[in-house]
Structure 1
């Protein structure tokens, strides 16, 4: 009986674990989805191929653009918090239809990011195991990564947050150490070619921003911890700004060091899949390169876990609002986690890349395909929340001219990666992507059409659903009203 009373005290209004996460753990959620380790370890070469000596500038501009988006998100996050994340915010600003479309966008973004990092987990896992003579199938590593992520997410949100904080922390520190060693190996040189953007073009830097946004995407995932974060109206907005800024500084430093480290060598950074391993060997610290590969493996896993958690909480809230079966909107009696939604999201995260692999598509290709598709989901949501923010502020009589400016800047900056991923026929600055990437916009459009169709069906089945949804979100905002006065 005492245990039942204690569980009820610890439960939030939605049945999740109440206010259990410190700021560091909330911050870890956003950082883990950004997965800062994976960009210098695996993706930076692709950005360099477009941006050249302007790679660091692509990161700077991408960071600034996402800070504008973060400011728009924080117009909501400073006033209310719920597991519904940006879905709840956009319903409040633009209404139920836009809100539900944003929920579908977030599910696409988080799950396909998780699939991409699960592929990265398999790539690094196969490589590391191969060094010690162990050969395993890709599907085995897909299953291992998914099962571990499911179990930790199912068991305890605090366990998830602490694991993500430790894994990302170790990985980032080891990469920074290598960065300092490489820079020291180059005599702490000031690379004027980078600082003067020698050979870089505006078009190349713009295309680099497209990949940079993918590197930052998911920074807003801590908003899904509205019930579980301590002081959510303070800690969640703070986590969005700081995760973006610190990740941006880390990216720019490593971009500078890696471009400098490869200068003068016969190896092209733009064509190297494991640049940090090469740099570690060049600096005579090959063992550190191996340790960083292990760190990257763990970082890919942490990101998969970090993606399943917010995706499950959005599915959980959508179910509670009548969009999915009721079972997906129930929390575990003792773990106080959205266990059914976590199981579903974990299963989808495993099935899609596994099915692609069965059609002889390699993990590296799966990483690229799913990583590109996830970007579409995030871009739709970032644009919608930037539009929703001033409308919401106008309705509560808090709108200032600077808020309109931040909204416009957020939308304009996000249009750069939109044009980069979709392409403009005949344009040399934003060319239409090669196959199969040129089909992805149509696949995403079909996905959103299906999501809209499902909303229409549910409205017809349950005519009061929209009013119930809006009333539920209004109640969440009302509970925090006293704190924001």
Structure 2
């Protein structure tokens, strides 16, 4: 079993023409940008802004957002180069298969499954909390046993089931719903910016970078791994707090990589995927920075509500109806995040199943809608169970470590693939390679080291399960290992004409 054997780009592209496993090409650059903005602008802008400004950065949180955006931009460029060169479902999994080999592809695919399953479930629970608050504003109270934090989180389960039906019905139909919800979310975000300007007090920006202070050192399993390894105690505020804040708000940008999972359903992936990925990042950075400036200008950072800063900033100025409107926007906004993450999860599993690293029977698409309906059912059921029955609370960091590990491998894969396949046509190229891709990998690794010890332990357990599956079944049955590649004649033709 050759662990480092790669799957050729031509073979990956040829696989997409197999009728039983062929997805419908219907997405444009606009669809992809809306898709990306839909998943990136979510819990981060509604909750993370206030928490980080209150505890870590003060008004300088905008600098943290910019610094995190620069880090994400490096990874985004790597994704853009890969996705325009390898327009196949699977995102980082497919890229790693081409550049680093099957074993690393399995590892990253397994990481992405962890990321997207847990992320969809966690965000669905957050949606349930906002939904409950919104209903209470209209005098409707969900029974405690079936509400957020109850025995079963029924609203979260219902949301995931409805979205699962939409995804199974068709990717274009899902995007139409997503576009409407993203429009509502963007309206709310712009409303916060422009309505909040009238309540901004310039005095609240002083000091812009509060004096640094040591925070209470976290010990044991919950301390950051870097601290456990002797990296020193964490600091809040000051320039150290700005950098630490960037490590936190970085996760508000997570999701732009999901755009790459739809490569196979894009009409012109070489042009549209780089546009979709980079436009998503630019739009979200501008909106995050504007919201951060307005909210910290409306309320002194010491008085910001860490859990619902946007809504409560307006409550502090006696604008209760505005707070209700913002809560409604949060409900719409988080809906798009769950939808996009579920789409991403189905496409990663689809790509792995088509390669027979997971049972190939899962990858067959619906004859009419051309969507992976079997996988969609599985994703929907698992996400609904996790969101409805599990106190996810401490598992959010698992999402982050799965994402960052994917970023590391994608970044490393860029210079590797350029060496292995310099002949490939690349519609988009990362500038200053290999310097920028290596810098991207190092930054992502640094952020991983800032996650807690217990997160790393859970991650290692998840990886151990994945490795057991690979060595006991997947590695022996994959199409690459057994030689059962799709369309060998087509692969030969593509290679000759490339």
TM-score when scaled to structure 1? 0.84
- Whether the 8 Å contact between 1:126 and 1:135 is mirrored in structure 2 is yes
**Structure 1 equivalent of residue 170 of structure 2:** 156
Shift of 1:196: 5.3
Matching of residue 441 in structure 1 with residue 441 in structure 2:
no
**Structure 1 equivalent of residue 47 of structure 2:** 42
**Structure 1 equivalent of residue 284 of structure 2:** 247
Alignment equivalent of 2:192, drawn from 170, 174, 178:
178
Shift of 1:310: 1.2
Shift of 1:202: 3.3
Shift of 1:416: 3.1
Alignment equivalent of 2:90, drawn from 61, 80, 84:
84
Matching of residue 237 in structure 1 with residue 274 in structure 2:
yes
Unaligned 5+ segments in structure 1 are 1-9, 423-437
What is the number of equivalent residue pairs in this alignment?
445
Measure the CA separation in 1 of the matches of 2:485 and 2:291. 45
Matching of residue 395 in structure 1 with residue 420 in structure 2:
yes
Q: Deviations over 1:139-181 (max 9, x none)?
A: 2112211111111111110111121122122112222222222
Say what the alpha-carbon RMSD is for the aligned residues.
2.8
Query: Using a 3 Å threshold, how does the CA distance of structure 1 residues 67 and 209 change in structure 2: closer, same or farther?
Result: same
Q: Deviations over 1:192-241 (max 9, x none)?
A: 53655665323322322222121111211111112211211111111111
Measure the CA separation in 2 of the matches of 1:288 and 1:83. 41
Question: Within 5 A, what are the aligned runs for 1:192-271?
Answer: 193=206, 200-263=237-300, 268-269=303-304, 271=305
**Structure 2 equivalent of residue 302 of structure 1:** 336
Question: Within 5 A, what are the aligned runs for 1:60-75?
Answer: 60-75=66-81
Unaligned 5+ segments in structure 2 are 1-15, 148-152, 213-236, 424-428
Secondary structure in 2 matching 1:279: helix
Query: Using a 3 Å threshold, how does the CA distance of structure 1 residues 190 and 246 change in structure 2: closer, same or farther?
Result: farther
Secondary structure in 1 matching 2:432: helix
- Whether the 8 Å contact between 1:51 and 1:204 is mirrored in structure 2 is yes
Measure the CA separation in 1 of the matches of 2:238 and 2:177. 41
Shift of 1:260: 1.3
- Whether the 8 Å contact between 1:311 and 1:345 is mirrored in structure 2 is yes
Shift of 1:374: 0.5
Matching of residue 135 in structure 1 with residue 148 in structure 2:
no
Deviates most, 271-280 or 78-87: 271-280
- Whether the 8 Å contact between 1:47 and 1:55 is mirrored in structure 2 is yes
Measure the CA separation in 2 of the matches of 1:164 and 1:388. 31
Measure the CA separation in 2 of the matches of 1:414 and 1:478. 38
Shift of 1:353: 3.0
Measure the CA separation in 1 of the matches of 2:164 and 2:386. 16
Query: Using a 3 Å threshold, how does the CA distance of structure 1 residues 464 and 304 change in structure 2: closer, same or farther?
Result: closer
Shift of 1:312: 0.5
Deviates most, 128-137 or 64-73: 128-137
Measure the CA separation in 1 of the matches of 2:488 and 2:260. 14
Q: Deviations over 1:256-309 (max 9, x none)?
A: 111111128xx722x432112222234454322212211111211211111111
- Whether the 8 Å contact between 2:157 and 2:385 is mirrored in structure 1 is no
Query: Using a 3 Å threshold, how does the CA distance of structure 1 residues 387 and 160 change in structure 2: closer, same or farther?
Result: same
Secondary structure in 1 matching 2:107: helix
Question: Within 5 A, what are the aligned runs for 1:402-417?
Answer: 402-417=432-447
Secondary structure in 1 matching 2:435: helix
- Whether the 8 Å contact between 2:415 and 2:433 is mirrored in structure 1 is yes
Measure the CA separation in 2 of the matches of 1:477 and 1:146. 43
Measure the CA separation in 2 of the matches of 1:475 and 1:82. 16
Measure the CA separation in 1 of the matches of 2:105 and 2:450. 25
Query: Using a 3 Å threshold, how does the CA distance of structure 1 residues 191 and 182 change in structure 2: closer, same or farther?
Result: same
**Structure 2 equivalent of residue 27 of structure 1:** 33
Query: Using a 3 Å threshold, how does the CA distance of structure 1 residues 260 and 67 change in structure 2: closer, same or farther?
Result: same
Measure the CA separation in 1 of the matches of 2:208 and 2:495. 47
Measure the CA separation in 1 of the matches of 2:50 and 2:495. 45
